[in-house]
């Protein structure tokens, strides 16, 4: 089959002869992919910021597909069902899944790592191949995948596998109270969705900060937010303070995560040493822009094992910090309702549709933020 193939940082090619996946466990299903996306999280893998990302692996944790085959214990899905597959791999039965923390499942990956199983997200997240391919093996097929609701556009469906629940959960973790001022760092798909969802929780003011003008423009239209360019500010923290009468924002959302362009180096005895792979600039700004007693919601992914963090400011201001992988399955029922009733239209963020064979160009373009890209969808050949 055709599949995206990781060859090392910044190098991706198309493998035309990857063996098709097989049922390995009675609860598995094999899904023929109909749509998959490239996510900002994939860029962390692409930039080499996530440990144990192995050569030859196939990324892709956002996909829809048609069930091709099911294991002997799968009862809810049938061959031919058109499904959307949440990015979390979850067993549905462990203590964390019982609390609906499907993004933290205790069974889908070794408890020796922090991360539960995720499709196409390195061996740190279980070593599962992902959906930027013609076929995927889906473990625990009865738990997270659901049939795409009748009448739902496939592009809305594929954005229910990650972007929509993730943006929504970013806003939810912010504990937004009626009238709150919410600041969102990052105007990528996740920040745009978080800003849009902040209104559903009663925000009184939503401010998005990025440096890409085309995305700020998008944030004004899609997220109905005020949007500002940090390159035009002396200091985004002072900007947020000034615009909130020096209080700081009630809620701040970090929808950036580690950024490959901002690694920190130090020269020791003439040798340049890597201090920190991927910057945490947005996180630093976020901690310092939230008001005393406010809430910081960190939805951005920090791939490297450790990051510089302003814990002193957080402690002295008495802020609450909430962070997690989105729990997609938990949020699906209410988000399906928001989409079917027209309150959310996730597919509006899709700017690029390309054949799966052009996946390498898709990564280059998304990494460089060329061609006004917000979200790219990959379409397999049949």
Interface residues with ligand NAD (CB under 6 A) are 39-41, 43-44, 162, 166, 185-191, 209-212, 215, 230, 255-257, 259, 281-282, 299-301, 325-326
Closer Cβ to ligand NAD, 145 or 167, answer by number: 167
Closest separation in Å from C-beta 152 to ligand NAD: 21
Q: Are 258 and 301 in contact (CB under 8 A)?
A: yes
In this chain, which of 5, 27, 36, 41 binds Zn ion, going by CB under 5 A?
41
Closest separation in Å from C-beta 253 to ligand NAD: 10
Closest separation in Å from C-beta 289 to ligand NAD: 11
Who's near 229: CB < 8 A, 6+ residues apart? 209, 210, 211, 213, 216
Place of tokens 């509006």: 348
For residue 19, CA distances in Å to 126, 141, 283 come to: 19, 21, 41
Q: Verify binding: residue 170, Zn ion, rule CB under 5 A.
A: no
Closer Cβ to ligand NAD, 262 or 355, answer by number: 262
Q: Which does 237 bind (CB under 5 to 8 A by kind): ligand NAD, Zn ion, none?
A: none
Closer Cβ to Zn ion, 63 or 230, answer by number: 63
Q: Which does 189 bind (CB under 5 to 8 A by kind): ligand NAD, Zn ion, none?
A: ligand NAD
Q: Verify binding: residue 85, Zn ion, rule CB under 5 A.
A: no
Q: Which does 212 bind (CB under 5 to 8 A by kind): Zn ion, ligand NAD, none?
A: ligand NAD
Identify which range of 25-33, 73-81, 161-169, 370-378 contacts Zn ion by CB under 5 A. Answer: 161-169
For residue 377, CA distances in Å to 158, 299, 344 come to: 9, 22, 19
Closer Cβ to ligand NAD, 135 or 302, answer by number: 302
Q: Verify binding: residue 162, Zn ion, rule CB under 5 A.
A: yes
Of the candidates 4, 113, 119, the residue with the CA atom closest to the CA atom of residue 64: 119
Measure CA 80 to chain center.
28
Closer Cβ to Zn ion, 21 or 60, answer by number: 60
231 Ramachandran zone, left/alpha/beta (phi>0; psi -120 to 50): alpha
Q: Verify binding: residue 125, Zn ion, rule CB under 5 A.
A: no
Q: Verify binding: residue 250, Zn ion, rule CB under 5 A.
A: no
Q: Which does 281 bind (CB under 5 to 8 A by kind): Zn ion, ligand NAD, none?
A: ligand NAD
How many residues of this chain interact with Zn ion, rule: CB under 5 A? 3
344 Ramachandran zone, left/alpha/beta (phi>0; psi -120 to 50): beta
Helix, strand or coil, per DSSP, at residue 220: helix
Which DSSP symbol is given to 56?
A: T
Of the candidates 18, 135, 123, the residue with the CA atom closest to the CA atom of residue 65: 135
Which DSSP symbol is given to 5?
A: E
Name the β-bridge partners of 249.
Answer: 290
Closest separation in Å from C-beta 186 to ligand NAD: 3
Binding site for Zn ion (CB under 5 A): 39, 41, 162
């Amino acid at each position: 089959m055709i599949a995206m193939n990781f060859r090392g940082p910044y190098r991706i090619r198309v493998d035309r002869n990857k063996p098709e996946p097989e049922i390995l466990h009675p609860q598995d299903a094999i899904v023929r992919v109909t749509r998959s996306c490239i996510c900002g999280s994939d860029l962390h893998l692409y930039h080499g910021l996530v440990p144990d990302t192995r050569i030859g692996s196939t990324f892709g944790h956002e996909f829809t597909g048609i069930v091709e085959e099911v294991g002997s214990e799968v009862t809810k899905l049938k061959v031919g069902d058109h499904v959307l597959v949440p990015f979390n791999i979850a067993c549905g039965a462990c203590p964390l899944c019982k609390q609906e923390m499907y993004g933290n499942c205790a069974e889908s990956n070794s408890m020796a790592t922090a991360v539960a199983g995720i499709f196409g997200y390195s061996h740190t997240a279980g070593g599962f191949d992902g959906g930027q391919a013609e076929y995927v093996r889906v473990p625990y097929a009865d738990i997270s995948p659901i049939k795409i609701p009748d009448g739902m556009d496939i592009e809305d469906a594929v954005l229910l596998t990650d972007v929509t629940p993730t943006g929504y959960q970013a806003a939810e973790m912010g504990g937004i109270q009626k009238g709150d001022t919410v600041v969102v760092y990052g105007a990528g798909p996740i920040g745009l969705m978080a800003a849009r969802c902040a209104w559903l929780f009663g925000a009184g003011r939503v401010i998005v900060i990025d440096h890409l003008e085309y995305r700020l423009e998008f944030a004004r239209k899609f997220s109905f937010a005020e949007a500002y360019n940090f390159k035009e500010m002396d200091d985004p923290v002072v900007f947020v303070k000034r615009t909130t009468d020096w209080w700081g924002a009630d809620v701040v959302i970090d929808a950036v995560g580690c950024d490959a362009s901002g690694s920190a180096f130090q020269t020791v005895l003439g040798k340049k040493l890597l201090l920190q792979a991927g910057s945490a600039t947005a996180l630093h700004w976020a901690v310092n822009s939230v008001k005393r007693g406010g809430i910081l919601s960190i939805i951005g992914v920090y791939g490297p094992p450790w990051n510089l963090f302003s814990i002193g400011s957080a402690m002295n201001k008495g802020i609450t910090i909430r962070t997690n992988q989105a729990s997609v399955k938990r949020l699906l029922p209410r988000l399906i309702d928001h989409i079917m009733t027209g309150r959310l239209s996730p597919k509006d963020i899709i700017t690029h549709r390309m054949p799966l064979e052009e996946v390498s160009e898709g990564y280059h373009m998304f990494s460089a933020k060329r061609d006004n890209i917000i979200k790219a969808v990959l379409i397999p050949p049949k």
